[in-house]
Structure formats: C-alpha cells, structure tokens
Structure 1
Amino acid sequence: MGPGGEASGHTARKSLDSMLLMIVLLAVSHTDSLPLRNDRDTSGTSEDYYSHHGIRCRRCPAGTYVEEGCAKPDTQGTCVPCSDGFNYSEHPTGLPHCLSCRRCREDQEEVSPCIRTQDTVCRCKEGTYCPPEHPCEVCLTCTPSCPPGQDFKLPCNSTSNGQCGPNNYGHGWIGWISVPAVLILLGLGVYLCLRNRSGGGNSITHTHIYRCLFKLDPRREDSDIPLLPARLSFPEGADRERNFSQAFYVFEKLVPFTYWAQFVRTLGLTGNEIKEAEANNHRNAKEQRYDMLSTWHMHNPNRDVNCLLETLCSIGLQTVAQTITDNLLESNLFVRHAQS
C-alpha cells in the first residue's frame, strides 16, 4: 500500500476510535444521570414496610400476620399463617392479626370460600341484585317486567337490574322523535349560554365553550373554583380532636363513593387497613369510611384537614374539596387560616 493509502487508513482508524469514544462517553453520561435507588429511604409511605416501635420492618406476606415485629431495621419479624375458612390477609401486612372471614347474608349465596389469602366472595341470589358501586347492605329485587311498549334488552343479574328498551312494535317511534328534540334543545341552550358568556359579541373562545359544557356547580362560576381550596385552621379555643373527628363525617358524606377507594389509597392506607375497616363495620358503610380516616389520622397525627383537601384536589376532585371546605366553614368546625 502506498503512502496515500496508509494515511487514508490511519485517518479512518482515528475517526472510528473517536466515534467509539463518543459513544462510550454518552453511555456513561446517561448512566450517571439515572437516579440511584435507595432501598433504605424511609420517606413517604411504602407498601413493603411498616413501623414497629420506631423500627422499619418488612411486611409479612399475604396469608399471614405479624406475631412479633422485627428487631433490626428492614428485616421481617415473625410471620404466622392465617387459617383457611376462619381468617385471611389479602395483601402484604403489618397487622398483628388476620382479618375475620366474611359470612354471606341470607339474601346472598357463596361464590368461593374464604382462604388464607382471600375473603369469602358472595353475590346476590337469583332474582336480586346489588350494584358494585354501592355498599351492598341488602340485595334489591329485580324489576319483574318492563313498561308497556318495552322489552328487556339485558336481563337482571347479581350486580345490575334488568335493562328495558323500546320493542320493535307499539310506540317505539316516540324515542326516535324525542332524541332529536332533546339535541335541538341542548344545542339551543349551549348557543344562548355562549352568547351570554361572550357578552353578545362575535368573539367566542374555547373558555366560553368549556364553561358552558362543563360547568359543575350552577351556583358558582368555574373561574371561582380554585385549584386548591382555602387553607383552614381550628377556631380559637376549639376542641381540636372533636372538630377533626366531626370533619371525617363531612368527608364521608360528600366524597363520591366511586372515588373513595382512590382517595384513601392516595392518603396512604394499605389494602389490609381498608379491609379491616370494612370487616369491623360490615353492614355500616358510613362507619367504614369513618374508621378508615381514623386509621389514617392515627398513623399521621401531625397531618391536618388541609392534607385531606389537598389529596382530593390531587385526584381531580377540586369541586368536592371546595364544597367540603364551605361545609366545614359553615358548621364552624374550622375557620380560614389567617395569613401571616
């Protein structure tokens, strides 16, 4: 190979070496930017650990309970199995006992028995139902028949009532007329709302449309609903524990049932703590919710009502949080926090 070829090969090797060096540096840089895992980080709430006499212990597995807590941090104490047909623990647990198995009511039938890792599964007997989004304190009787001119489109089952709909004869044509009429009236209402929002002018913005279509509370303009409600504090001389406990009933009443599980899990309650509250108040949904909030308060004595309101906002329930705030102020359980 001539001098020109050697020079060309040397230049190619230098370019290849430079490229490989750049790739290595980029890989190292990317690796250095990744967050380091800290298994001993005790901040926040962990599903893997619980506190025992100030020591962080690893939870016992599902199907067991903690007979004795750990003596060294981040280790597991003594775990004892639950008994099939008698008690259970569905999730990793730090509780000193298993949860008692559920017994199906007289209006229910057993789908699967209680085992160490799962409670008894019950359902309403044939001819009755209970919607899953409601506390099933009693099974409801299925609708025996549909109104004149309608037939069952979906039969009744253990979780929903039968669904009626227009049949193919009789007066089914009424529905075809009523639907366009409703759409026309809805469109007219939105149009008038938009004209009112824009002050009668021709400039209609996306904000105007949003407020007309998604206004959640007719008593309040959307712009008046803040992302976070006003911060609250106890009135001077108030019995703080009593007021806080009374506030739990306000949350129990106003937080929608379909969001309750998400709300308490976001607060940090474990699956077993939720199950225990339900088991301790089996036929009383109101006391189940109160018990869950009391458990949260026991584990977080330094947290206040503002934490509950902020948690609602974090899961998209700003309007609910504002309504609860108004209720707490009107009942004199809390006052607006004085700005320093």
Structure 2
Amino acid sequence: MCSILLVFSACWIVFSHPTGAFPLDSGLNRTRRDVSCTGGLQYRHGDLCCLYCRAGTYVKSPCTRFGEAGQCEECDSGTYIEHDSDLTKCFPCTQCRSDQELVKQCTHAEDGKCQCKPGRFCHPDEACEVCKRCIRCKKDEEVVRNCTSTTNTECKKIQSKPGAPSDSIVVTVVCVATAVAVCVVFIIALGLYKWRRKRSDSQPDLPDSMKTELYNFPFEVQRDSEARRQSSNTLSLSRQLEEEFPQLVPVKGEESLRACFEYFEDLNVDYYRRFFRSLGISDNVIKGCDHQQYEDRIHELLNKWVEKEGRDASLNSLLRALLDLSQKRTAETIRDQALQAGHYER
C-alpha cells in the first residue's frame, strides 16, 4: 500500500510541473533579479552590486563578485573626481583665465580654484565670465572698503568740515584775485605806454629806432613777465609730476614690466595710436595689428616696443608717454595697480 502511495505522489509532481522548475528554485532566481544595492556605497552591474571607487579614482572595470569593488584606477594628471562614484572617466581640472590667478591647486580628489587678479573683481552670485576692473574713488571721495576679488571698491563723498570754506568759495576767491592782478598789470602797462609815447612825441629829434623802443617797452616788459610766469608754471608742474610719479623699481625686472601690460587695456581707444607713435612704433606696425581684438593689440604692440627698446624698456617710460598725452588719470591707475600687485616698488 505504501509503495502505491509513493508512486502516485511522484506522478502527481511530474504532471503538475512538466518543465522541471520547482517553486523553491523560482523564488531564488526572483530574489537575485530584484536585489537592490546600497545607495551611496554600491552601484549595480548586471545582477551584481559593486562597491563605488573612492574619490580620486575611476572604475576601470566592474566587479565580478557580489559586494566587492571592481578595478579602480587613479585619475590622470590634470583630472579629478571629488566623491566616491561609479564614473568611468575623470573630469578635467578647471583652467584659470588670463584675468584670474590660481589660489588652490587641482588634485586627483579636488578641483582647483581660481579668483580674480588684484585690481579686478567678480561677484560670487553672478556668472563670472570676465573679471571687472575695480573703480578708483574720485578726488572728492574717500575709500570705504577696498576692492577684493569678489567685491568692488566702495566710495563715499568727503564731508566738508564745519566752518571750513567749500571748494567753490576757494576757487571763486582765487579767480577774483587773478582777475584783479591781470587788470592791475594791464593798467600799469597801458600807463607806461602812454607815458613813453608822450615823452617820445615831446622829443621829435630822437631817431625812429629809439621811438620804436619807447613804444614797445611796456609790451616787452609784459611779454617777459608772461614768459617768466609760464616758465615758472612749467617748472612747478614738472616738480609736481616728479612727486606724484617717482621712478618705480621693478621687483623682477622685465617680468614685472610684462605683468603690467594688462593694465594698459583700459587705454582710451582714441589715444592708443598716438600713444604707440610716441613710443616710436611705426604706423605700419600699428595698422598691422588692427585685425586683433583691442586687448590683444595692446599686448602685441607693447611686446614689440620691449623688443625694440631692450634693456631701456621700463614702466616709467610708458607712464611718461601717457602724461605727455594728458592721460594723467590712466597713468595714475596703472601706477597704483603696479604697486598694489607688488610688481613695482617706489
């Protein structure tokens, strides 16, 4: 009887599952297909969960056993990956632009960091496509906060001291005094002229040459006085410029000079041809650079000037050329930037 029951059970199993797939095996296969990998630690590769490669490395080949790491390779020089990942390629390191400087080197596990060069800034909440030049406070303003790589210079009006005469009053007094002085000189010259003429007319026997001298005497005195005044003003202006623009000393020779070329990019476009002509650059050479961007033109022509001048090339010569063109404000800006950046010393 037992034998009959065993045979019957076997037949029922075969006919109920003709493919040979038993419920236990089916459950095991479904478990492997539906397995979930641990987020932040593993990634899925086929039916396997592989461990992430650590920061600074990439997946060269995935794992072959469940829960293990595949073959991880260190990023090449100039590339990085900042976090553990399943990436198969590293990112290229950020390259600083010409108006930026590198403040943090790029490593395999961290990107480099750039910031605007001294004298320029870029707000961190804006797309920093180009670093803007820092403003300089006007003569009637004072600096509230110096320019940084992320903030512009802040200025405010200088408040007049109580009881002190305003600039307009001082200018008015000076103008009135000057006008009075001119009138006095004119009256004296006119009086001398009339006196000399009357005296000459009362002496008809004098030669014509002496009469001419008597007529011209007051005007010659006035011309001499004017010439002396102009000469005195020129000397005074020259001394003032020498005080404001003393000879600057480069910290690293020609390297310091070339580092200041970018400061000349703000040169007024209406003066740039006259500026380079004054430096001895021919019109043909200047015209040959017209196809370039304005900033590139400036650098190209300054490089040609350095090649022409050799050891005699200096920032002082460039500043003097700007002063001769009445571009004092530009010269002051370039001088201050060169000193602030540490390329030159007084």
Q: TM bucket by the smaller chain? A: 0.3 to 0.5
| Largest Rg, 1 or 2 | 2
Select the structure that is richer in helix.
2
Q: Using CA pairs under 8 Å that are at least 6 residues apart, name the structure with larger relative contact order, 1 or 2.
A: 1
Could you state the TM-score of these two structures normalised by the residue count of structure 2? 0.33
